[in-house]
A and B are shown apart, each in its own frame.
Chain A
Amino acid sequence: MKDLVTHMAQAIVDYPDQVVVTEEMADDHIVYHLKVADSDMGKVIGKQGRIANAMRTLLKVAAIRKGTRAILEIGEGVSPRGAPPRLLDEPRLLDEPRLLDEPRLLDEPRLLDEPRPLDEPRLLDEPRLLDEPRLLDEPRLLDEPRLLDEPRLLDEPRPLDEPELEPAPEPDLDLESDLEPQSEL
């Protein structure tokens, strides 16, 4: 498998003679460490790690065939086997972190859509009285009703106008002639 990694790397770099692969046994897997010329680092990693992952895929299948597991590490920056790296001092900030500029909004915030109620509000049940309303006590008057003052007339009542009498009809003289004179009998 070491040869596979070497072969793959050498096929794609500009300086094949600078390809170095080291093999290291870990608990249940093998770690391959691939080192190439600095200028070839981009080539063995690839855009978004595509080439590195392609090599890992093939290495993985090769390892499975041999009933083991393999890991491919590329470049420097990996601690040598043994104790994990440790910090000499507790990391601390040299300066209090501060904002370079006052934070501000790039755009005026705005609503993407006009806000609207999700549903028309509605009553789940028709509202109803729990109990029939009733008077706690029989209504009663606090005091016997009475007149504040004796009622009186504002003005002396008087006829609005002198009643106008219809002139008496002139007695019909002809009526007398129809009367049958009885006194002459």
Chain B
Amino acid sequence: MKELIEYMARSIVDYPDQVVVTEEREDDRLVYHLMVAESDMGKVIGKQGRVANAMRALLKVAAIRKSDRAVLEIG
């Protein structure tokens, strides 16, 4: 799932090499922390968080497939 987030983020930012995703288990869920270049923040969040929520929707389905729960945090 970490790879999925990296792939999605790298596809939409201007500086793909600055995309960093960290994974952390917190109780019963996985917390993913996405960091991108300052100037790319708007791109991964999107208008009214639309892009961020799109990534979260896909992450959620991917987690359910693995009988897990996942949360995506940006910035």
Seen from chain A, the residues whose Cβ lies within 8 Å of a Cβ on chain B are 1, 3-4, 7-8, 11-14, 43, 46, 50-51, 53-55, 57-58, 61-62, 65
A3 to B46, CA, bound (A): 21
Q: How many A-B residue pairs have CB under 8 A?
A: 64
Residue from A4, A13, A50, A62 within 8 A of B57 (CB atoms): A50
Residues A58 and B12 in contact in the complex (CB < 8 Å), given A7-B7, A11-B1, A53-B54: yes
Residues A54 and B58 in contact in the complex (CB < 8 Å), given A8-B4, A61-B46, A61-B51: yes
A61 to B44, CA, bound (A): 9
Seen from chain B, the residues whose Cβ lies within 8 Å of a Cβ on chain A are 1, 3-4, 7-8, 11-14, 43, 46, 50-51, 53-55, 57-58, 61-62, 65
Query: B4, A61: Cβ atoms under 8 Å?
Result: no
* B3, B11, B50 — most chain A CB neighbours (10 Å): B11
A43 to B4, CA, bound (A): 16
Residue from B46, B51, B61 within 8 A of A51 (CB atoms): B61
Query: A12, B58: Cβ atoms under 8 Å?
Result: yes
